[in-house]
């Protein structure tokens, strides 16, 4: 769908800018900045973030979507992020807690280094 392609390009641009600034972006901030149409804009956003994650994983790139986090989730992505990582064989631990935070911090660092310089 052409709209999805435009939205994915907008998401990559916003997230790449965040990588240059070494910061994360909440799902709400992302959906607002990319001007996601409603209804169910956060759900649609998460589906497109999953597409971007699959694209980066398939290309062997650090995961730009690691910069997208939940507002009330202690700076971590929502559980679906970790579930998809597990399905792709990229994460073997829990979706929450210290082990998830450590895995996310490592992925964030890789993403900031790679995407922040590209």
Domain count within the chain: 1
Q: What is the pLDDT of residue 2?
A: 54
Please give the sequence-ordered ranges of beta strands (E in DSSP) within 19-109, or none if there are none. Answer: 25-26, 68-69
Of the candidates 52, 104, 61, 109, the one whose C-alpha atom is nearest the C-alpha of residue 79 is 104
CA 16 from chain centre, in angstroms, equals 11
List, for the chain, all residue ranges whose pLDDT scores fall below the cut of 70: 1-2, 73
Each residue of 85-105: pLDDT tens digit? 999 999 888 788 888 889 899
- Its domain, for residue 70, covers 2-116
Q: What is the pLDDT of residue 106?
A: 94
């Amino acid at each position: 769908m052409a709209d999805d392609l435009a939205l994915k390009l907008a998401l990559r641009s916003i997230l790449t800018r965040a990588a240059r600034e070494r910061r994360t972006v909440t799902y709400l901030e992302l959906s607002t900045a990319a001007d996601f149409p409603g209804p169910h804009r956060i759900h649609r956003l998460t589906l497109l973030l999953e597409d971007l994650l699959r694209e980066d994983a398939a290309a062997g790139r650090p995961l730009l979507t690691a910069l997208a986090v939940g507002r009330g989730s202690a700076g971590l992505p929502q559980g679906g992020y970790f579930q998809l990582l597990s399905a792709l064989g990229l994460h073997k631990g829990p979706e929450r807690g210290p082990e998830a935070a450590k895995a996310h911090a490592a992925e964030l660092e890789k993403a900031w280094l790679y995407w922040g310089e590209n």
